[in-house]
């Protein structure tokens, strides 16, 4: 069970995964060794699964970012999600109970590349019967 101090540590790391133990300790009024132990416990318990970097796709030449919903045959649901996760252009895949059974974020250089990906790869995944892309115009938060 995590307490309020652990929650604050997690909040700091979510804002800046590179925050040092010293910076976190100063912010919370705790010792560096206490922070080190708490972070290790948060890692071991799976609260912190990994540290990551948030990238601006456009700065890397990916000018089209899309959230794509897929509807698939129920009997091929897991296989389709797995096939999506193996595509290089796909950044994340999630199963959903919402409007679509599978949701994915895709980065491509432009709309043409996205169209080719949808028709030549995603559309050929066995069981996929509907593909609903939504191109992100501007990321407001995240």
In tens, the pLDDT along 75-99 reads 999 999 999 999 999 999 999 998 9
Res. 73 pLDDT band, cuts 50 70 90:
very high
Average pLDDT over residues 116-131: 97
Domain ranges of the chain: 4-44, 57-135
As a CATH number, domain 57-135 is 3.30.70.920
Radius of gyration of the chain (CA): 20
Model pLDDT, residue 18: 95
Res. 67 pLDDT band, cuts 50 70 90:
very high
Distances (CA, A) of 101 to 9, 107, 134, 138: 34, 20, 15, 25
Report which of 9, 4, 77, 81 is spatially closest to residue 38, judged by C-alpha positions: 9
Query: Given this chain, do its domains 4-44 and 57-135 carry the same CATH topology?
Result: no
Model pLDDT, residue 1: 85
pTM: 0.83
CATH class of this structure's domain 4-44: mainly alpha
What percent of the chain is predicted at pLDDT more than 70? 100
DSSP string, 76-128: GHHHHHHHHHT-TTEEEEEE-SSSSSEEEEEEESSHHHHHHIIIIIGGGSTTE
Is pLDDT at 14 greater than 80 in this prediction?
yes
Average pLDDT over residues 42-60: 94
Average pLDDT over residues 44-69: 95
Q: How far apart are CA 19 and CA 78, in angstroms?
A: 37
Encoding tokens for residue 80?
A: 């389709």
32-53 exposure pattern, b = at least 16 Cβ within 10 A, e = fewer: eeebeebbeebeeeeebeeeee
């Amino acid at each position: 069970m995590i307490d309020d101090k652990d929650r604050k540590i997690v909040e700091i790391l979510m804002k800046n995964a590179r925050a040092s133990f010293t910076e976190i300790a100063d912010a919370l009024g705790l010792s560096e060794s206490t922070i080190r132990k708490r972070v290790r416990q948060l890692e071991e318990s799976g609260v912190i699964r990994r540290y990551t970097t948030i990238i601006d796709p456009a700065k890397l030449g990916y000018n089209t970012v899309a959230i794509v919903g897929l509807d698939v045959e129920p009997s091929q649901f897991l296989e389709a999600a797995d096939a999506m996760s193996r595509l290089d252009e796909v950044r994340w895949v999630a199963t959903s109970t919402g409007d679509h059974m599978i949701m994915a974020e895709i980065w491509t250089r432009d709309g043409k590349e996205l169209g080719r990906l949808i028709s030549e790869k995603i559309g050929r995944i066995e069981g996929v019967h509907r593909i609903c892309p939504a191109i992100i115009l501007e990321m407001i938060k995240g």
